[in-house]
Amino acid sequence: MKQILPLYFIMGSQDCKLDPAFTLTEAIKGGITCFQFREKGPGSLQGTEKVALGRKLQRICRESNIPFIVNDDIELANTLQADGIHVGQDDMPIEEVVHKFVGNIIGLSVHTVEEAKQAATHNIDYIGVGPIFPTGTKKDAKKPVGASHIHTIRDAGISTPIVGIGGITKQNAHHVIQAGAEGISLISAISMSDYPQLAAKQLKAILTLA
Ligand code: TZP
Ligand code: MG
Protein backbone atom coordinates (compact mmCIF):
# COMPACT_ATOMS: atom_id res chain seq x y z
CA MET A 1 0.00 0.00 0.00
CA LYS A 2 2.84 2.38 0.79
CA GLN A 3 3.89 2.47 -2.88
CA ILE A 4 0.33 2.74 -4.16
CA LEU A 5 -1.10 5.51 -1.99
CA PRO A 6 1.26 8.53 -2.14
CA LEU A 7 -0.30 10.33 -5.12
CA TYR A 8 -3.72 8.85 -5.68
CA PHE A 9 -5.55 10.48 -8.59
CA ILE A 10 -9.35 10.17 -8.87
CA MET A 11 -11.52 11.28 -11.77
CA GLY A 12 -14.33 10.68 -14.22
CA SER A 13 -15.15 12.44 -17.47
CA GLN A 14 -17.34 14.94 -15.57
CA ASP A 15 -14.27 16.21 -13.67
CA CYS A 16 -11.99 16.85 -16.62
CA LYS A 17 -11.13 20.12 -18.26
CA LEU A 18 -9.30 18.26 -21.02
CA ASP A 19 -9.91 14.82 -22.56
CA PRO A 20 -10.03 12.14 -19.79
CA ALA A 21 -7.61 9.73 -21.51
CA PHE A 22 -5.18 12.57 -22.17
CA THR A 23 -5.55 13.84 -18.60
CA LEU A 24 -4.79 10.39 -17.17
CA THR A 25 -1.84 9.81 -19.52
CA GLU A 26 -0.34 13.14 -18.52
CA ALA A 27 -1.02 12.54 -14.82
CA ILE A 28 0.81 9.21 -15.08
CA LYS A 29 3.78 10.93 -16.75
CA GLY A 30 3.70 13.39 -13.84
CA GLY A 31 4.08 10.59 -11.31
CA ILE A 32 0.69 9.53 -9.92
CA THR A 33 0.89 6.21 -8.07
CA CYS A 34 -2.72 5.03 -8.32
CA PHE A 35 -5.89 5.85 -10.25
CA GLN A 36 -9.56 5.63 -9.28
CA PHE A 37 -12.24 5.75 -11.98
CA ARG A 38 -15.12 7.72 -10.44
CA GLU A 39 -17.71 8.31 -13.14
CA LYS A 40 -20.36 9.91 -11.01
CA GLY A 41 -22.64 12.93 -10.58
CA PRO A 42 -23.91 15.57 -12.99
CA GLY A 43 -22.65 15.08 -16.55
CA SER A 44 -21.24 11.59 -15.95
CA LEU A 45 -21.49 8.82 -18.53
CA GLN A 46 -23.84 5.90 -17.94
CA GLY A 47 -24.22 2.32 -19.15
CA THR A 48 -22.07 1.15 -22.06
CA GLU A 49 -20.37 4.55 -22.41
CA LYS A 50 -19.23 4.36 -18.80
CA VAL A 51 -17.91 0.83 -19.29
CA ALA A 52 -16.08 1.83 -22.48
CA LEU A 53 -14.35 4.77 -20.79
CA GLY A 54 -13.45 2.56 -17.83
CA ARG A 55 -11.82 0.04 -20.18
CA LYS A 56 -9.91 2.76 -22.00
CA LEU A 57 -8.57 4.30 -18.79
CA GLN A 58 -7.74 0.86 -17.38
CA ARG A 59 -5.66 0.10 -20.50
CA ILE A 60 -3.71 3.33 -19.97
CA CYS A 61 -3.05 2.38 -16.34
CA ARG A 62 -1.94 -1.15 -17.29
CA GLU A 63 0.64 0.15 -19.76
CA SER A 64 2.34 1.96 -16.88
CA ASN A 65 1.63 -0.50 -14.07
CA ILE A 66 -0.60 1.95 -12.23
CA PRO A 67 -3.27 0.27 -10.06
CA PHE A 68 -6.78 0.83 -11.46
CA ILE A 69 -9.50 1.17 -8.84
CA VAL A 70 -13.24 1.54 -9.51
CA ASN A 71 -15.46 3.74 -7.36
CA ASP A 72 -18.70 2.25 -6.00
CA ASP A 73 -19.64 0.03 -8.93
CA ILE A 74 -18.72 -3.51 -7.88
CA GLU A 75 -20.26 -5.00 -11.00
CA LEU A 76 -18.02 -2.83 -13.19
CA ALA A 77 -15.01 -3.57 -10.98
CA ASN A 78 -15.54 -7.31 -11.38
CA THR A 79 -16.32 -7.09 -15.13
CA LEU A 80 -13.13 -5.15 -15.80
CA GLN A 81 -11.14 -7.21 -13.30
CA ALA A 82 -10.05 -3.98 -11.68
CA ASP A 83 -7.21 -4.03 -9.16
CA GLY A 84 -9.45 -2.49 -6.55
CA ILE A 85 -12.77 -1.09 -5.48
CA HIS A 86 -13.45 2.00 -3.39
CA VAL A 87 -16.75 2.44 -1.55
CA GLY A 88 -18.29 4.99 0.77
CA GLN A 89 -20.31 4.60 3.95
CA ASP A 90 -23.59 4.85 2.03
CA ASP A 91 -22.74 2.28 -0.63
CA MET A 92 -23.05 -1.49 -0.40
CA PRO A 93 -22.22 -2.79 3.14
CA ILE A 94 -18.50 -3.39 3.42
CA GLU A 95 -19.01 -7.09 4.37
CA GLU A 96 -20.75 -7.57 1.05
CA VAL A 97 -17.96 -5.82 -0.85
CA VAL A 98 -15.36 -8.03 0.83
CA HIS A 99 -17.43 -11.07 -0.14
CA LYS A 100 -18.24 -10.08 -3.74
CA PHE A 101 -15.16 -8.28 -5.04
CA VAL A 102 -12.79 -10.66 -6.78
CA GLY A 103 -9.82 -8.25 -7.06
CA ASN A 104 -7.19 -7.17 -4.64
CA ILE A 105 -7.57 -3.78 -3.05
CA ILE A 106 -10.56 -2.57 -1.03
CA GLY A 107 -10.74 1.05 0.07
CA LEU A 108 -13.39 2.72 2.22
CA SER A 109 -14.23 6.38 2.83
CA VAL A 110 -14.46 7.35 6.49
CA HIS A 111 -15.41 10.58 8.20
CA THR A 112 -15.33 9.69 11.90
CA VAL A 113 -12.96 7.82 14.22
CA GLU A 114 -15.72 5.27 14.79
CA GLU A 115 -15.95 4.56 11.05
CA ALA A 116 -12.17 4.19 10.90
CA LYS A 117 -12.33 1.64 13.75
CA GLN A 118 -15.02 -0.30 11.91
CA ALA A 119 -12.88 -0.33 8.74
CA ALA A 120 -9.97 -1.77 10.72
CA THR A 121 -12.11 -4.68 11.93
CA HIS A 122 -12.91 -5.57 8.31
CA ASN A 123 -9.29 -5.65 7.17
CA ILE A 124 -9.80 -2.87 4.67
CA ASP A 125 -6.61 -2.12 2.69
CA TYR A 126 -6.79 1.64 3.09
CA ILE A 127 -9.19 4.32 4.26
CA GLY A 128 -9.92 7.65 2.60
CA VAL A 129 -10.31 10.24 5.35
CA GLY A 130 -12.16 13.43 4.57
CA PRO A 131 -13.12 15.83 3.39
CA ILE A 132 -9.98 17.29 4.88
CA PHE A 133 -10.51 20.74 3.34
CA PRO A 134 -13.56 22.35 1.70
CA THR A 135 -14.19 20.89 -1.75
CA GLY A 136 -16.26 22.09 -4.67
CA THR A 137 -16.03 18.77 -6.48
CA LYS A 138 -18.38 16.66 -4.34
CA LYS A 139 -21.61 18.58 -3.88
CA ASP A 140 -22.88 16.49 -0.94
CA ALA A 141 -19.53 16.39 0.89
CA LYS A 142 -19.64 16.49 4.68
CA LYS A 143 -18.09 19.21 6.83
CA PRO A 144 -14.27 19.42 6.44
CA VAL A 145 -12.43 17.66 9.28
CA GLY A 146 -9.02 19.32 8.90
CA ALA A 147 -5.66 17.56 8.59
CA SER A 148 -5.46 17.11 12.38
CA HIS A 149 -8.26 14.54 12.11
CA ILE A 150 -5.72 12.14 10.61
CA HIS A 151 -3.65 12.56 13.78
CA THR A 152 -6.73 11.85 15.87
CA ILE A 153 -7.36 8.60 13.97
CA ARG A 154 -3.74 7.51 14.45
CA ASP A 155 -3.92 8.43 18.16
CA ALA A 156 -6.96 6.15 18.45
CA GLY A 157 -4.60 3.27 17.61
CA ILE A 158 -5.72 2.73 14.01
CA SER A 159 -2.87 1.71 11.76
CA THR A 160 -4.81 1.16 8.51
CA PRO A 161 -3.08 3.04 5.67
CA ILE A 162 -4.69 6.46 5.13
CA VAL A 163 -5.18 8.80 2.20
CA GLY A 164 -6.56 12.24 2.87
CA ILE A 165 -9.24 13.48 0.47
CA GLY A 166 -11.06 16.72 -0.23
CA GLY A 167 -9.75 20.10 -1.31
CA ILE A 168 -6.12 18.99 -1.40
CA THR A 169 -3.87 21.25 -3.46
CA LYS A 170 -0.16 21.88 -3.77
CA GLN A 171 -0.61 24.64 -1.17
CA ASN A 172 -1.95 22.38 1.60
CA ALA A 173 -0.84 18.83 0.68
CA HIS A 174 2.09 18.86 3.13
CA HIS A 175 -0.31 19.22 6.10
CA VAL A 176 -1.96 15.92 5.16
CA ILE A 177 1.32 14.02 4.99
CA GLN A 178 2.69 15.65 8.13
CA ALA A 179 -0.47 14.58 10.00
CA GLY A 180 0.42 10.93 9.29
CA ALA A 181 -1.30 9.99 6.03
CA GLU A 182 0.39 7.60 3.60
CA GLY A 183 -0.89 9.64 0.69
CA ILE A 184 -3.06 12.35 -0.80
CA SER A 185 -6.01 11.62 -3.04
CA LEU A 186 -7.41 14.33 -5.21
CA ILE A 187 -9.55 15.16 -8.19
CA SER A 188 -9.60 18.79 -9.31
CA ALA A 189 -5.99 19.70 -8.48
CA ILE A 190 -5.04 17.53 -11.48
CA SER A 191 -8.25 17.03 -13.51
CA MET A 192 -9.05 20.73 -13.82
CA SER A 193 -5.49 21.78 -14.56
CA ASP A 194 -4.46 23.02 -18.00
CA TYR A 195 -1.25 21.06 -17.43
CA PRO A 196 -2.12 17.81 -15.63
CA GLN A 197 1.42 16.46 -15.98
CA LEU A 198 2.91 19.53 -14.36
CA ALA A 199 0.23 19.53 -11.64
CA ALA A 200 1.04 15.91 -10.76
CA LYS A 201 4.81 16.60 -10.85
CA GLN A 202 4.47 19.53 -8.47
CA LEU A 203 2.33 17.51 -6.04
CA LYS A 204 4.86 14.67 -6.21
CA ALA A 205 7.66 17.07 -5.37
CA ILE A 206 5.74 18.29 -2.32
CA LEU A 207 5.31 14.70 -1.11
CA THR A 208 9.04 14.16 -1.21
CA LEU A 209 9.65 17.32 0.79
CA ALA A 210 6.85 16.91 3.36
N1 TZP B 1 -14.92 12.55 -1.20
C2 TZP B 1 -14.75 13.42 -0.23
S3 TZP B 1 -14.25 14.93 -0.84
C4 TZP B 1 -14.27 14.36 -2.44
C5 TZP B 1 -14.66 13.04 -2.45
C6 TZP B 1 -14.81 12.20 -3.63
C7 TZP B 1 -13.95 15.22 -3.60
C8 TZP B 1 -12.49 15.49 -3.76
O9 TZP B 1 -12.27 16.31 -4.87
P10 TZP B 1 -11.20 17.49 -4.86
O11 TZP B 1 -11.39 18.18 -6.18
O12 TZP B 1 -9.85 16.87 -4.78
O13 TZP B 1 -11.53 18.37 -3.70
MG1 MG C 1 -19.33 5.97 -3.06
CATH code of the domain covering residue 141: 3.20.20.70
Domain, as residue range, for 137? 2-209
Counting the structural domains of the chain, the total is: 1
**Cα–Cα distance for residue pair 175/150, rounded to 1 Å:** 10
**Tens digits of per-residue pLDDT, 66-110?**
999 999 999 999 999 999 999 999 988 999 999 999 889 999 999
**Cα–Cα distance for residue pair 175/31, rounded to 1 Å:** 20
Considering the entire predicted model, what is its pTM?
Answer: 0.97
191: Cβ below 6 Å to ligand 1?
no
Minimum-distance ligand 1 atom for the alpha carbon of 192: 11
Which of 10, 89, 145, 172 for a ligand 1 pocket mutation test, highest count of atoms within 8 Å of Cβ? 10
Would the ipTM clear 0.90, i.e. be above it? Answer: yes
Rounded mean pLDDT, 40-47: 96
User: Considering 109, 185, 191, 193, which one is annotated as catalytic?
Assistant: 109
187: Cβ below 6 Å to ligand 1?
yes
**Cα–Cα distance for residue pair 142/186, rounded to 1 Å:** 16
pLDDT of residue 209: 86
